C-alpha cells in the first residue's frame, strides 16, 4: 500500500485543526486501565459526549472496583444515565468490579485473552484497554469509523470490524497502530462522517477511491 504513509502523515497534520471529541479528552486525562475499561463499556451504543459525561460522573469519585462496589445498582444507573442500555451496563459494571477484586487482585488484566473473559468485554473494548489503558503497541482497536474509512479509501474490502482488524494489521505499519484509533475516530467525526462525508474539504481526497460513497459535501 504505497500511499498509506503519506495519508497517515497528512491526517496527523490536518488533525490539529479538528475538534477534539470530549471522550478522548477525558481518556487523555484519566489514563488508568480501570477507568479506560469502564468508560469503554459505557461507550457501547452511546454518543461520545454522553459517554464522557457519564464517565466523569461515575469515575471522578468511584475510580476503583472497591469504590464502585459500594454503590447500589440503582445508584450506578443514576450516575450513568442516559448511556445506552444503562440498566444492563450498571449490572455488568458491578459484576466486572467483583471479578476484578476476586480474581485479579483488583487490577485490570493486562493480557488480551484475560480481558475478553470478562463479561461484556469484546474485541474492541479489549483492544482499547490494551492500547490506551496498558499502553501496549500490538493492538488495533477498530470501531465504526476505523472500519468504514479504510474501506472507503479502498485500502481493504471487509464486512466486519473483526475482518478490518485482521486486514489492517497486514498493511498498516506498526508504528501507526497506537495512534490509528484516535486519528480515524476524529477524522470520522469531523470530515469522513458516516453519511455525506465532507470530500470537498478532505486533504486526502486525491488518494481516496470513495468506495460506496453515494453522496458527499
What residues line the site for ligand SF4 (CB under 6 A)? 152-153, 191-192, 197-199, 202, 204-205, 208, 210, 213, 216
CB of 198 to ligand SF4, least distance (A): 6
Q: 182, 12 in Cβ contact below 8 A?
A: no
Query: Which candidate, 99, 136, 102, places its Cα nearest to that of 121?
Result: 99
Residue 9 DSSP code: H
Cell triple for residue 148? 468504514
CB of 21 to ligand SF4, least distance (A): 17
How far is 37 from 28, CA to CA, in rounded Å?
Answer: 13
CB of 105 to ligand SF4, least distance (A): 45
Q: 213, 197 in Cβ contact below 8 A?
A: yes
Pick 51 or 181: Cβ nearer ligand SF4: 181
Residue 121 DSSP code: -
Residue 172 DSSP code: S
CB of 153 to ligand SF4, least distance (A): 6
Angle at 103 between CA 101 and CA 109, to 5 degrees: 90
Residue 20 DSSP code: P
CB of 150 to ligand SF4, least distance (A): 9
Pick 79 or 192: Cβ nearer ligand SF4: 192
Pick 94 or 152: Cβ nearer ligand SF4: 152
End-to-end CA distance of the chain: 27
Amino acid at each position: 500500500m504505497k500511499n498509506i504513509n503519506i495519508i497517515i502523515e497528512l491526517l496527523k497534520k490536518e488533525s490539529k485543526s479538528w475538534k477534539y471529541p470530549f471522550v478522548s479528552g477525558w481518556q487523555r486525562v484519566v489514563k488508568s486501565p480501570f477507568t479506560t475499561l469502564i468508560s469503554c463499556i459505557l461507550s457501547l451504543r452511546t454518543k461520545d459526549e454522553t459517554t464522557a459525561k457519564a464517565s466523569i460522573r461515575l469515575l471522578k469519585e468511584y475510580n476503583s472496583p472497591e469504590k464502585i462496589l459500594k454503590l447500589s445498582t440503582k445508584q450506578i444507573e443514576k450516575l450513568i444515565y442516559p448511556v445506552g442500555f444503562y440498566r444492563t451496563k450498571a449490572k455488568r459494571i458491578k459484576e466486572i468490579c467483583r471479578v476484578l477484586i476476586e480474581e485479579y487482585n483488583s487490577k485490570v488484566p493486562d493480557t488480551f485473552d484475560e480481558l475478553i473473559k470478562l463479561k461484556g468485554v469484546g474485541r474492541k473494548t479489549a483492544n482499547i484497554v490494551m492500547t490506551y489503558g496498558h499502553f501496549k503497541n500490538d493492538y488495533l482497536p477498530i470501531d465504526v469509523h476505523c472500519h468504514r474509512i479504510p474501506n472507503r479509501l479502498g485500502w481493504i474490502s471487509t464486512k466486519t470490524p473483526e475482518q478490518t482488524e485482521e486486514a489492517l494489521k497486514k498493511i498498516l505499519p506498526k508504528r501507526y497502530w497506537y495512534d490509528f484509533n484516535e486519528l480515524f475516530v476524529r477524522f470520522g467525526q469531523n470530515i469522513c462522517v458516516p453519511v455525506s462525508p465532507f470530500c470537498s474539504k478532505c486533504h486526502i481526497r486525491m488518494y481516496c477511491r470513495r468506495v460506496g460513497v453515494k453522496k458527499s459535501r
